[in-house]
Amino acid sequence: MPIKSGGETSVENLALACVSCSLHKSAKEFVLDPETNKFVPIFNPRQQDWADHFQWVGFRMTGLTATGRATIETLKQNRPIILAIREEEQILGRHP
């Protein structure tokens, strides 16, 4: 929960993320689903299960729900550098 919405700078409220994901998420709590063009809650890994909202199609993440689609789009989870990293990780046996 962002500070602007009353979130605290406590371990329970902070999340470890790469710089890119952190900047793309920013203080967003609701994000635009590209399929329905409606704002939906961004994926919350503490309260939701990844597999309920996402799946792998090769190296690409695809959304199974509005939240999944909107989170992928907002965090740019299929940008070329991430796809290249996932490909390298698969060679090393670490993806998915």
What does the binding site for Zn ion look like in residue numbers (CB under 5 A)? 18, 21
Is 21 or 83 the residue whose CB approaches Zn ion more closely?
A: 21
Are 66 and 33 in contact by the 8 Å Cβ rule? The answer is yes
Give the residue closest to Zn ion by C-beta. Answer: 21
Q: Is residue 64 classed as helix, strand or coil in its secondary structure?
A: coil
The nearest distance, CB 6 to Zn ion, in angstroms, is 25
Query: Cα torsion at 50, 51, 53, 59 (round to 10°)?
Result: 90
The nearest distance, CB 37 to Zn ion, in angstroms, is 25
Is 81 or 91 the residue whose CB approaches Zn ion more closely?
A: 81
**Dmax over Cα atoms in the chain, in whole Å?**
43
The nearest distance, CB 19 to Zn ion, in angstroms, is 8
Is 66 or 82 the residue whose CB approaches Zn ion more closely?
A: 82
Helices and strands (DSSP H and E) totals, the chain = 4, 4
